[in-house]
Amino acid sequence: MLAALLLAGCGGSDKQDVADAAPHFDAAFLMNNDIWREQRKTELLAADGWTSLVGLHWLELKAHYIGSGSTSGIRLAVGPERMGMVSRDGERVWFTPEPGAALQVQGQPLTKRIAFHSDDDFEPTIISFDDGKGALSLIHRGPRYALRVKHADAPARVHFTRLDYWPADPSWRITARFVPHDAGKTLPIADITGLVRDQANAGAVEFERDGRTWRLEALGEPGRPLQLIFADRTSGRGSYAAGRYIDVGVPDAKSQVVVDFNRAYNPPCAFTPFATCPLPPPENRMDLPVEAGEKTYVKPDAGGHA
């Protein structure tokens, strides 16, 4: 009995030692990180979120008849069999609805030809169908235009599995130096389709990790929030092979920004083949394993299982 009590006492001491040795993270840090993860999932799974994409169709001709029917020049995966005609006149794009297609724009029935504004315009046109479950929009990439189709019943949304993360670690929430560039500087950024576009490049962020100084080019306009697109030693080995993104706030009066790698997230292309994701520039490929933030998304199989 005494031996048993002694063994039990030793076991309790060992457990306490392990507990004492475990890192004690700030409760607010963990709570805020959990909130961010929930918001990330909510946005991804919104009825018009990235997982709702069901089609990306490039406009190659001056006019295309579109719809889900077999006679459509551009055949959509969802929606009316005959939806309408998309036509292009120079840099202007028009949409003419098919009678009886039951389309809406801003909650109003679409019954006549309208200007089809792209995501480059101040107010992009969103054409809804299937009682609001579907949405047709126009994207502009370099010299090309494409139709983007979303639907609330998209397989990527309906069969979504889960988001996996490395354990939250405050050491990866880093205060970095912001190094501004000359006004108007841009950086060529290639996307997953092979198109290269010049993006505003307000500056770079520099930070220390593992005894070295690292530098990432930041995309965005001066005085506005920035985005980092980066790859690291975990890319393709735990994290998404084509890189990850981090949103960064406006630099403060001391030219400092917080770069929280715990909030590194996958681009839309990790979830759907119908996105045109920018890729990390050569300057942002780090020989550093960033074991923080979002891991590779495991897509479901044909049966909808991970």
CA–CA separation, 174 vs 78, rounded Å?
45
Name the fold adopted by 50-158.
Tumour Suppressor Smad4 (2.60.200)
Is pLDDT above 50 for 7? no
| pLDDT, position 306 | 58
Residues 27-44: what's their mean pLDDT?
Answer: 96
| pLDDT, position 299 | 87
Condensed to tens digits (0 to 9), the pLDDT of residues 201-235 reads: 999 999 999 999 999 999 999 999 999 999 999 99
Domains in the chain: boundaries: 50-158, 162-284
Condensed to tens digits (0 to 9), the pLDDT of residues 236-260 reads: 999 999 999 999 999 999 999 999 9
Where does the pLDDT of residue 16 fall: very low under 50, low under 70, confident under 90, or very high at 90 and above?
very low
Contact 184, 199 (CB under 8 A): no
| pLDDT, position 26 | 86
Where does the pLDDT of residue 141 fall: very low under 50, low under 70, confident under 90, or very high at 90 and above?
very high
Task: Provide the CA 117 distance to its chain's centre, in angstroms.
Answer: 22
